[in-house]
Structure 1
């Protein structure tokens, strides 16, 4: 409240006649209230407008600020941040925050053109909860590849707006095969990419689909992704070429749309697949695309779990 809201003449009369037992003010219509007849009353308590600016208050504020900075730098926790677009995170939603960031970083590496739209679709139980932080985290994942690691939960939305990226969040109550599922789509000029993921048993990130292909693999480390014709010998060709380039295969997932049609292979590798090796795969007969997906630099952002 500010001075002028109260009729000071009426307040003076009410206090003087004891119609009001007492009053306390820290603001006045005219400040400083020099000569105000309210100050002559014994049943009025008046403090300066900046009553909190005492030595003790400033010392406590300084200590609290230092403690919160230490909490962020040492413990990776954010508390009472006024510019974080979230509230308390539901435990059911919390694991999907890290998943969203990884799916965003994965999906954006499937395209070579500027991102125009990011769609985040929550399926299952989490669709009925506050998933704003999931969407923010997905944006962070996309922009961490586009503009670098300085992207965070504070500036992600504003950077996306500056770049003209449209953000769409959708919720679907049902999830066909999983209790909860996250779908992330990125649209560019004439190109759309989609990845799907979930978390189980508790906090293990898994990728369960890329575009029209279904698969199931842990979402960690670096990958080689290939799209090729579904025919005998393709797995052998990929393994042989990776072996020649001293790239070890950790895991492998395969999906196909139709028998004898297009297929996708996602290979988790122990060494990053360089541009030269990707070019070799793209040059092979019956290979439609090959991409190196790098996620090994990503770490769990504990401060997101507020």
Structure 2
């Protein structure tokens, strides 16, 4: 179940609970999105809280992120209370850091997950109540509005890529609702996040990855209850 309230959290002052509660769905989203995007083993999780949120107790937010990360990869039901214990039993180190500076945001939360020799980063922010943005995926700065169905591709930054991907999706009857783009440098690697209306099959993902210009394709599905 997506975390949307502070019901199961340790006792907090009412004003503290009220300040934290809008961030719980964002924290869950970061964990859940990460596992669908990157997957793999997890040795260490580091969450950096930036901006105004850094002044509040961080453990409830971290627990919400762990709930999203662990959901679907453990057999037991995961919640805010047992998620930290499950993570530690699996040998996962949990680190928290905080800073008052959030650069261009009032609040910014950065999730870094290390597993084996790999490390990936995901970052998000809360603009207003219920208005979330994913602002970094891996090496790409990109502002994504989360939706039920999302298709993520990485590709070479060159003319015609968006058209080729759009044409293939049209042939497969996949309707694009909106799109965001980001890139590491001009002519380098780029990322495209598409909000689509329906499920994207493994067959379609394989066809996308067979395009010479596409490096990777992932389909992200969020539970309807989260939205």
Match of 2:119 among 178, 192, 197: 192
Q: Which runs of 4+ in 1 moved over 4 A?
A: none
Residues 235-277 of structure 1 show CA distances to partners (whole Å, capped at 9, x for unaligned) of 1111111112221112211000100000001111111222221
- For 1:106, which of 9, 25, 33 is the aligned residue? 33
Gaps of 5+ in 2: none
Distance 2:95 2:205 in 1: 32
- In the TM superposition, residue 103 of structure 1 has moved relative to its aligned partner by 0.8
Gaps of 5+ in 1: 1-75, 301-306
2:134 is matched with 207
| Counterpart selection for 1:258 from 185, 202, 207 | 185
CA contact (8 A) 1:111 1:191 kept: no
TM-score by length of 1: 0.67
- Between the aligned partners of 1:133 and 1:160, the Cα distance in structure 2 is 15
Matched, 1:87 2:16: no
Aligned mates of 2:11, 2:69 — CA distance in 1: 19
Match of 2:42 in 1: 115
The answer to whether the 8 Å contact 2:6/2:21 transfers is no
**1:187–1:193 contact (8 Å) kept in structure 2:** yes
Q: 1:195 to 1:242 in 2, by over 3 A?
A: same
**Alignment-derived partner of residue 154 in structure 1:** 81
Asked whether the equivalents of residues 220 and 296 of structure 1 are also in contact (C-alpha less than 8 Å), the reply is: no
Counterparts of 1:1-306 in structure 2, within 5 Å, are 78=7, 84-85=9-10, 87-88=12-13, 89-147=16-74, 150-299=77-226
Q: What is the SS of the residue equivalent to 2:18?
A: coil
Report the alpha carbon displacement of residue 94 of structure 1 after superposing the two structures with TM.
2.0
Number of residue pairs aligned between Structure 1 and Structure 2: 221
CA distance in 2, matches of 1:273, 1:86: 42
Instruction: Name the CA shift for 1:226/1:151 in 2 (closer, same or farther; >3 Å).
Output: same
**How far is the alpha carbon of 1:183 from its aligned partner?**
0.9
Q: Which has the higher contact order (CA 8 A, sep 6+)?
A: 2
> How has the CA–CA distance of structure 1 residues 257 and 154 changed in structure 2, closer, same or farther, with 3 Å as cutoff?
same
The alpha-carbon deviation at position 149 of structure 1 amounts to: 8.0
2 CA distance for matches of 1:94 and 1:282?
Answer: 39
C-alpha separation between the residues in 2 aligned to 1:149 and 1:86? 24
Calculate the aligned-residue CA RMSD, in Å.
Answer: 2.0
Q: Quote the Cα distance in structure 1 between the aligned partners of 2:143 and 2:106.
A: 15
Task: Check whether the contact 2:6–2:17 (CA below 8 A) recurs between aligned residues.
Answer: no
Partner SS for 1:271: coil
Q: How high is the TM-score relative to the length of structure 2? A: 0.89
Distance change >3 Å, CA 165–CA 85, structure 1 → 2: farther
